[in-house]
Amino acid sequence: MVAIAAGRVAGSAALVGFGLDSTVEVASGLIILWQFRHPLPESREQLAGRLIGLSFFALALYVGYESLSALLTGTRPDTSTVGIVLATLSLMVMPLLSWAQRRTGRELGSGAVHADGTQTLLCTYLSGVLLVGLLANALLGWWWLDAVAALVIAAVAVREGVEAWRGDGCCSVSPAVTSDAGASCAAECCQD
């Protein structure tokens, strides 16, 4: 909420996109809760992955539109100290959270949980892109880099959305997987 409000005040497409990514992050977590409240969470695995994928696509569509509009109209964002602080804090916290979520996804044999952790990792990358865009605007007057940073956010969101939709994430399992899913997934899964 803080990032979206600060982005609106500053006119920063990248900062609004970052805030919306956080909203998608919460939605993704709620989808995982819904999945695991079922007696057989594996039966909801594919749908959970697709819902997470849809949230990535919605983020990409909105941020892509806003950033292209800013570039075409020459809309110059103001400096956002709040955005710079948020991006810096996210760069410190998000990698640890993502690592824990993806490890849990491997242990549970859940591609949807792993995708949720990947969403958090995406937030880390977006924090870096956002910070570069905000600093370039504040220090160098490169207003256009804010919109370019937002386009990077949108492109990464599309890629992650496709992977979540297809169930291509590390640890994707079928509903027929046995209770050893976590162990076999951890053995076969990419190490990250």
Query: Exposed, middle or buried by CB within 10 Å (0-12, 13-18, 19+), for 171?
Result: buried
Residue whose entry in the numeric block shows the structure tokens 């880390």 = 124
Query: Exposed, middle or buried by CB within 10 Å (0-12, 13-18, 19+), for 96?
Result: exposed
Residue whose entry in the numeric block shows the structure tokens 């386009």 = 151
Contact in structure between 59 and 28 (CB atoms under 8 Å): no
User: Buried b vs exposed e over 53-71: b needs ≥16 C-beta within 10 Å?
Assistant: bbbbbbbbebbbebbeebb
192 residues of the chain, pLDDT tens digit each: 898 999 889 988 888 888 887 887 788 778 888 888 888 878 888 888 888 889 889 989 988 998 899 899 998 899 999 999 999 999 999 899 888 888 888 888 877 778 778 777 877 888 888 899 899 999 999 999 988 988 988 898 898 889 888 876 544 444 434 344 444 444 444 444
SS (H, E, C) 98-116: HHHHHHHHHHHCCHHHHHH
Contact in structure between 128 and 38 (CB atoms under 8 Å): no
- 70 secondary structure, DSSP code: H
- 177 secondary structure, DSSP code: -
- 12 secondary structure, DSSP code: -
pTM over 0.75: no
CA–CA–CA angle 111, 116, 121 (5° rounding): 115
